[in-house]
C-alpha cells in the first residue's frame, strides 16, 4: 500500500457536512490569531494600564483555541486510522474534549523536543560564557573555545534536523493511540517504520512539499490586507491533508505487517 496524495487532498469533500466543519475550524484559527490584536488596540487608545492584563488574557484564549484545532486534527487522523472507509470529519460539539486532546498532543510534542531544548540551552550558555569579556575565558583559550562553540552548534543542528526528520513518525504514532508517551516510544516508532521505509520517505517529501506550498500561498496572500483573512483556510486545509497522510502511513504499516505474517 502506497501513500495516496490525491486522496489526501480530496478526502474531506466526501463528508456531506465538510464545508461547515472546515469553515468552523478556519474560523477558530482566525479567532486565535485575531484575539491577539485586542491588547495592541488598547495602546492605540492611549491606555497602557490594561495592556499586560489584556495580553495575558488574549494569549490564554489564543492557546486554548489552538489546542482545540490541534485536537481536531488529531481526532481526524485517529478516525481515519481506525476506519479508513469512514470519511466523516469530527464534529466541533465536544470542544472540551478537543482541547484536552490538543493539550495531550502539545505535551507529547514538548517531551519529544526536550533533548533539542536542553542542548540548545547548553549552547546558549556556552555562547554567553565564552563570549563574555568579563569571564576572561576567551582571552586565554580563544582557539579552543571557538572549537567548542563550533562543535556544540554543529551537534545542535544535527540533533534538530534528526528531530524534524522523525517528527512525522512520532506524530503518526500519537494519532494512532492518542497517548502522550507515543511521542517518545522508540519501540512503537520502530514498529511503524519497519518494512515501511519507502512510505515514510514519501511522507517526509510530502510534508516538505506541503510546507513549501503553504509558504508560497501565504506569501502571496500577504500582499493585501484582505489576504490575511484566507490564512486560516490555507492552514486548516494543510493540517487536514497532513493528518490524512499520517493516517495513510499508519494504515500502510499495518497492511505491511499483515502481508509479512505467514498464513497457517
Across the range 231-257, mean pLDDT stands at: 91
Q: Helix or strand or coil: residue 93?
A: coil
Backbone Cα Rg of the chain:
22
Question: With 90 as the cut, is the pLDDT of residue 103 above it?
Answer: yes
Residue 191 sits in which domain range? 5-260
pLDDT more than 90, % of the chain: 64
Return the pLDDT at 256. 64
C-alpha cell at 107: 505535551
* C-beta separation of 89 from 18 below 8 A: yes
pLDDT band at 61 (very low <50, low <70, confident <90, very high): very high
| Cα angle, residue 249 at apex, residues 243 and 254 outer, rounded to 5° | 130
Res 249: pLDDT? 95
Q: What is the pLDDT of residue 263?
A: 45
Q: Mean pLDDT throughout 53-81?
A: 94
CA dist., res. 129 & res. 47, Å (int): 40
Number of domains in the chain: 1
Compute the distance between CA of residue 179 and CA of residue 108 in angstroms, rounded to an integer.
8
Residue-wise pLDDT tens digits, 159-182: 999 999 999 999 999 999 999 999
Model pLDDT, residue 264: 39
Residue 93 phi, psi dihedral angles, 5° rounding: -65, -40
C-alpha cell at 203: 511522507
In angstroms, the first-to-last Cα distance of the chain is 23
- Rounded Cα distance between 242 and 108, Å, is 18
Which of 63-67, 69-73, 115-119, 250-254 is predicted least confidently? 250-254
Q: Does residue 206 carry a pLDDT above 70?
A: yes
Residue 50 pLDDT greater than 90, yes or no: no
User: 80: pLDDT confidence band, cut at 50, 70 and 90?
Assistant: very high
Give the confidence band of 221 by pLDDT, cuts at 50, 70, 90.
confident
Predicted TM-score of the model (pTM) = 0.88
Amino acid at each position: 500500500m502506497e501513500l495516496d496524495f490525491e486522496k489526501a487532498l480530496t478526502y474531506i469533500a466526501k463528508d456531506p457536512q465538510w464545508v461547515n466543519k472546515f469553515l468552523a475550524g478556519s474560523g477558530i484559527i482566525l479567532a486565535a490569531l485575531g484575539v491577539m490584536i485586542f491588547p495592541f488596540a488598547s495602546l492605540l487608545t492611549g491606555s497602557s494600564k490594561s495592556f499586560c492584563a489584556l495580553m495575558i488574557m488574549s494569549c490564554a484564549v489564543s492557546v486554548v483555541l489552538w489546542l482545540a484545532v490541534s485536537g481536531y486534527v488529531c481526532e481526524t487522523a485517529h478516525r481515519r486510522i481506525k476506519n479508513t472507509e469512514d470519511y466523516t470529519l469530527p464534529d466541533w460539539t465536544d470542544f472540551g474534549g478537543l482541547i484536552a486532546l490538543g493539550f495531550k498532543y502539545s505535551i507529547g510534542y514538548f517531551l519529544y523536543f526536550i533533548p533539542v531544548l536542553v542542548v540548545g540551552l547548553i549552547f546558549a550558555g556556552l555562547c554567553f560564557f565564552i563570549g563574555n569579556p568579563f569571564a576572561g575565558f576567551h582571552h586565554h583559550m580563544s582557539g579552543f573555545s571557538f572549537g567548542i562553540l563550533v562543535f556544540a552548534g554543529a551537534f545542535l543542528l544535527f540533533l534538530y534536523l534528526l528531530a524534524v526528520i522523525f517528527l512525522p513518525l512520532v506524530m503518526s504514532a500519537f494519532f494512532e493511540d492518542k497517548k502522550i508517551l507515543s511521542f517518545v516510544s522508540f519501540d512503537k516508532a520502530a514498529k511503524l517504520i519497519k518494512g515501511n521505509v519507502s512510505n515514510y520517505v514519501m511522507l517526509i517529501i510530502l510534508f516538505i512539499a506541503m510546507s513549501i506550498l503553504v509558504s508560497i500561498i501565504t506569501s502571496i496572500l500577504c500582499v493585501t490586507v484582505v489576504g490575511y483573512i484566507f490564512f486560516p483556510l490555507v492552514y486548516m486545509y494543510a493540517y487536514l491533508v497532513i493528518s490524512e497522510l499520517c493516517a495513510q502511513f499508519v494504515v500502510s504499516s499495518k497492511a505491511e505487517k499483515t502481508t509479512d505474517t505467514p498464513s497457517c
